[in-house]
Amino acid sequence: MINVIVCSNKTDSWRIHTEHIKNTIGCEYNYIRVDNTANTRGICGAYNAGIQRAVGDIAVFVHEDVFFITQDWGKILCHKFSQNNSIGLIGVAGSQYLTADNPSWVAAGRPFIQGKVIHKNHNNGMCILTIYSESETDTEVVAVDGLFFAVRKSLFTSIAFDEHTFDKFHFYDLDICMQVRKTHKIIVTPEIIVKHLSGGKFDLTWQNYGEKFIKKYKQILPVSCSDQHPDLKNRINFENYPLKMMVSEAAYSSICKLDYPPDNPHPASLNKPGQKNTSEFPPIIAVTGMHRSGTSCIAGLMHRCGYSLGPIHGLLSDNQPDENNLRGHNENFLVVQLNQKILKTSGGSWYQIPSQESIDAQENLVKDRISHFTQAFTGGLIKDPRLCLTLNLWKKYCSRLSHIIICYRHPLSVAKSLNKRDNIPIEYGLNLWYEYNVRLINNIKDLPVIVTDYDNLLNHCEEDLFEILQILQATLSKSDMVSRIKGFFEKELNHNQYFNTETESLPTNIKELYLLLRSHALAPSTGK
């Protein structure tokens, strides 16, 4: 018998979920609802309470907003556990490698992450297929995502959910996996497909519990069941695809119906106070400019003001800070990956710039991938300096692209920063600055553009940022904006400043381009 254990936060949702389990499990089961409508329990405490009531051989822990696409999924679990006594836990998404300093289970990227999950996009109600791997066979992992996993009940004589350390709703899944793997294998199976109505909340609370997880297991992290070692700086992330393009119309309609009724929404789909309820994706604002020109800073400030970068797992290195970007890169991994692919296939890279003709010739290679990204991306803000070079292709196939925010910085500031970071000669760095900005100016035709001077942020951050928000017709008041960005931008982050004397010594073409950008930038102090 299978015990289906659910920490339930909403009575009406529970009733719908109970009926769904009944119709899909395909075997004898016991549905154990741990009532948490008063929000007095953490998920570890709820699951421990559920185990005390369990009477079968298998304990399934599943979120209340998870629906099963696979029929008879209970029979599949029973068969897998009975055929292999070494298996202790089965999930639908997980990783073969947990890093020592990044608590996210997807941090290692491909080929270490495994599984497939359907998610609901709450901006437009569409279903997205998140593909962590292309594998069609069971794969051993070291940890799974907690949206759904099954454990041999007999293991709970020696293991338990750590409700003391993880007393809220984060990292219970990775923690229980660390306990299980001491004696048994953990696998991800592609045979069970689920739809998850929410995508997780990776906020400061999540980060806090991530630090607790790392502290608890610091003596044994990283952990792996793979012979390979990830390249964490150049990891390959998972991909999201519009499900509608991958299944029949009838199948898509059936999957979309697995949901809670609109007149009684699940808590995960409720908008925050004051947030618009929209049925469409937000427009995409692109932040770009030459490398080392403050694009990360501007994107980070915009993000603090409510412009979403999308899920944190979709960001480069999960947006963890490093010595070159102390506030994180704020870059979507798929955007960076696509642009790197365009430049590489064109015969160059970010510092060996291919001709514009070679870049534009990659249209057939990337048009579908840009279109897929446009349809699946849940955020409204992307950032990548390489967009200066690839913008022609994004203009054609990213239909949601609405504004370009150009970040520029004094050429000598950029050149000296590149010299320090990459050992690039100053003269070469100046030429890179020129080429990036010339390409960008040539590529922005027909797009609304906002030009901002990174050096000016030193003394006028609030004025410049508020004008950007006004141009974008944001409703945030200036006092709210100031409160949100407090502590993000510090003068010390802006090194290598140069002024009028150094400008006069620049090569003529570079000086003229710099002065042109200055003439179109937000005014230094008035914001007009």
Which architecture characterizes domain 2-255 according to CATH?
Alpha-Beta Complex (3.90)
Mean pLDDT value of segment 342-360: 95
Q: Is the pLDDT of residue 169 over 90?
A: no
* Average pLDDT over the chain, rounded to an integer: 86
Q: Read off the pLDDT band of 269 (50, 70, 90).
A: very low
Domain boundaries in the chain? 2-255, 284-520
Mean pLDDT value of segment 96-121: 91
Instruction: Return the higher-pLDDT residue of 17 and 501.
Output: 17
Mean pLDDT value of segment 307-315: 72
Residue 294 and residue 100: Cα distance in Å, rounded?
29
- 464 near 456, Cβ under 8 Å? yes
Residue 272 pLDDT: 34
HEC-encoded secondary structure of 108-123: CCECCEEEEEEEECCC
Q: Helix 478-485 crosses helix 457-471 at what angle (to 10 degrees)?
A: 130
Q: Is 513 helix (H, G, I), strand (E, B) or coil?
A: helix
Q: Read off the pLDDT band of 175 (50, 70, 90).
A: very high
Residue 391 pLDDT: 96
Residue 204 pLDDT: 67
Residue 281 pLDDT: 67
Mean pLDDT value of segment 69-86: 96
Q: Is the pLDDT of residue 220 over 90?
A: yes
Q: Which of the 8 DSSP states describes residue 347?
A: T
pLDDT tens-digit profile of 62-77?
999 999 999 999 999 9
Q: Read off the pLDDT band of 504 (50, 70, 90).
A: confident
Mean pLDDT value of segment 408-418: 93
The three-point CA angle 108-109-112 to 5° equals 75
Mean pLDDT value of segment 100-105: 89
Mean pLDDT value of segment 287-294: 94
Q: Which of the 8 DSSP states describes residue 228?
A: -
Instruction: Return the higher-pLDDT residue of 269 and 330.
Output: 330
204-218, 266-280, 372-386, 439-453: which has the minimum mean pLDDT? 266-280
Residue 275 pLDDT: 35
Nearest to 201 by CA among 268, 149, 144, 128: 268
Which pair of structure tokens corresponds to residue 507? 């090569």
For the chain, the 3-state helix, strand and coil shares in percent, each to the nearest 5, are 40, 20, 40
Mean pLDDT value of segment 363-370: 90
Which pair of structure tokens corresponds to residue 228? 């390979």
- 346 near 361, Cβ under 8 Å? yes
Q: Is the pLDDT of residue 36 over 90?
A: no
pLDDT tens-digit profile of 226-257?
999 888 777 777 888 888 878 888 999 999 98
Mean pLDDT value of segment 258-269: 54
Nearest to 158 by CA among 135, 176, 173: 176
Write out the E strands in 379-491: 381-383, 401-408, 449-453
CATH label, 284-520, candidates 3.30.43, 3.40.50, 2.60.120, 3.60.60? 3.40.50
**How large is the C-alpha radius of gyration of the chain?**
25
CB atoms within 10 A of CB 240: 22
Q: Read off the pLDDT band of 419 (50, 70, 90).
A: very high
Q: Is the pLDDT of residue 263 over 60?
A: no
Residue 56 pLDDT: 85
Q: pLDDT > 70: what percent of the chain?
A: 88
Residue 111 and residue 132: Cα distance in Å, rounded?
8
Instruction: Tell me which long-range contacts 336-342 makes (C-beta under 8 A, separation of at least 24).
Output: 336/384, 336/386, 337/236, 337/237, 338/366, 338/369, 338/370, 338/373, 338/390, 339/384, 339/386, 339/387, 339/389, 339/390, 340/386, 341/365, 341/366, 342/366, 342/386, 342/389, 342/390, 342/393
Instruction: Return the higher-pLDDT residue of 174 and 456.
Output: 174
Write out the E strands in 312-393: 381-383
Instruction: Return the higher-pLDDT residue of 126 and 413.
Output: 413
